[in-house]
């Protein structure tokens, strides 16, 4: 049986992730004996984090983990961090390299500026995601976080207070629009800033299209990757035979042997090497 393989053109590292990883590699080459840390995993991919650790870049979870500030460089991960965390690092005198995705930094500025103007910040996103926590930290933890349509329907009555809506950069684009429509029916003075990055919209749209035309779908990415989970949910809604894998080791070809067409996509933190390995294996093992 000849199997048709459809690989998403948008699969793999996005601009922000590639930039963050490259910044880590650059720092490892010019460390000059200093200890290099990322504050939290630089991206949500364990293989990449392990590879950076082998190059001398370890992960810490808090500035309090730093024991020798003057001999330390801290790389801010692609998801960004809260303003109070940045302030603490600066006060400690450590070297700071910000690998925050520029699209995330843009949201930080919006939250900071609009909060100071008196607006109520609303973040549409996953409440426990580090990017969302970071954004909330730029408006002193006053943001109202909305994860789904039910929460939007139960949004508090804020009267005529100005509301500024932003989104987690990797949030489901369709879901964002649904939630915004609900909030606009409830609230009077709303400014919507669609801060979902273009690469996310493109990746989600392409994944949906490929899944719709495939008998089976593979979604590759880290198990803690929010954007990969959203890709999986989108693909699953279009193709019941959708499988979430981290690497080739997670793939059981018995699951695929009866399917003549297989689509493949991957999250923004998935290295191209892993995608190619999966694609090659699915194509040859029939």
User: Which pTM was predicted?
Assistant: 0.88
Active site residue 285: no
Measured CA to CA, the distance from residue 212 to residue 215 in angstroms comes to: 8
Domain boundaries, the chain: 4-12+198-284, 15-100, 103-192
Q: Give domain 15-100's CATH architecture.
A: 3-Layer(aba) Sandwich (3.40)
Give 271's strand partners: none
The active-site residue out of 27, 131, 147, 206 is 131
For the chain, which ranges sit under pLDDT 70? 1, 284-286
What share of the chain in percent tops pLDDT 90? 85
Intrachain domains 4-12+198-284 and 15-100 with the same fold: no
The per-residue b/e assignment along 86-112, b for 16 or more CB within 10 angstroms, e otherwise, is bebbeeeebbebbbbbebbbbbbebbb
Q: CATH classification of 103-192 is 3.40.50.2300, yes or no?
A: no
**DSSP β-bridge partners for residue 75:** 38, 97
> Is 3.40.50.620 the CATH number for 4-12+198-284?
no
- What pLDDT score was predicted for residue 44? 87
Integer Cα distance of 272 and 171 in angstroms: 22
What integer pLDDT is reported at residue 286 of this predicted model? 52
pLDDT of the residue at 1: 58
């Amino acid at each position: 049986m000849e199997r048709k393989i459809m690989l998403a053109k948008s699969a793999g590292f996005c601009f922000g992730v590639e930039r963050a990883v490259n910044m880590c590699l650059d720092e490892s080459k010019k460390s000059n004996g200093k200890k290099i840390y990322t504050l939290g995993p630089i991206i949500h991919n364990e293989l990449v984090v392990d590879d950076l650790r082998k190059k001398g870049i370890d992960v810490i979870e808090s500035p309090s983990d730093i024991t020798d500030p003057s001999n330390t460089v801290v790389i801010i991960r692609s998801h960004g961090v809260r303003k109070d965390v940045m302030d603490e690092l600066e006060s400690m005198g450590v070297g700071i390299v910000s690998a925050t995705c520029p699209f995330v930094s843009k949201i930080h500025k919006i939250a900071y500026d609009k909060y100071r103007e008196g607006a109520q910040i609303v973040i549409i996103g996953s409440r426990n995601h580090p990017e969302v926590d970071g954004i909330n930290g730029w408006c002193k933890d006053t943001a109202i976080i909305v994860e789904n349509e039910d929460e939007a329907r139960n949004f508090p009555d804020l009267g005529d207070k100005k509301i500024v809506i932003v989104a987690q950069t990797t949030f489901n684009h369709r879901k964002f629009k649904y939630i915004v429509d609900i909030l606009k029916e409830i609230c009077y003075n709303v400014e919507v800033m669609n801060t979902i990055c273009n690469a996310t919209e493109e990746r989600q749209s392409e994944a949906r299209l490929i899944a719709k035309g495939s008998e089976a779908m593979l979604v590759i990415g880290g198990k803690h990757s929010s954007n990969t989970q959203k890709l999986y949910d989108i693909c699953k809604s279009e193709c019941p035979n959708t499988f979430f894998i981290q690497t080739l080791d997670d793939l059981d070809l018995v699951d695929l042997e009866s399917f003549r067409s297989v689509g493949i996509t991957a999250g923004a933190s998935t290295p191209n090497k892993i995608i190619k390995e999966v694609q090659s294996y699915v194509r040859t093992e029939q």
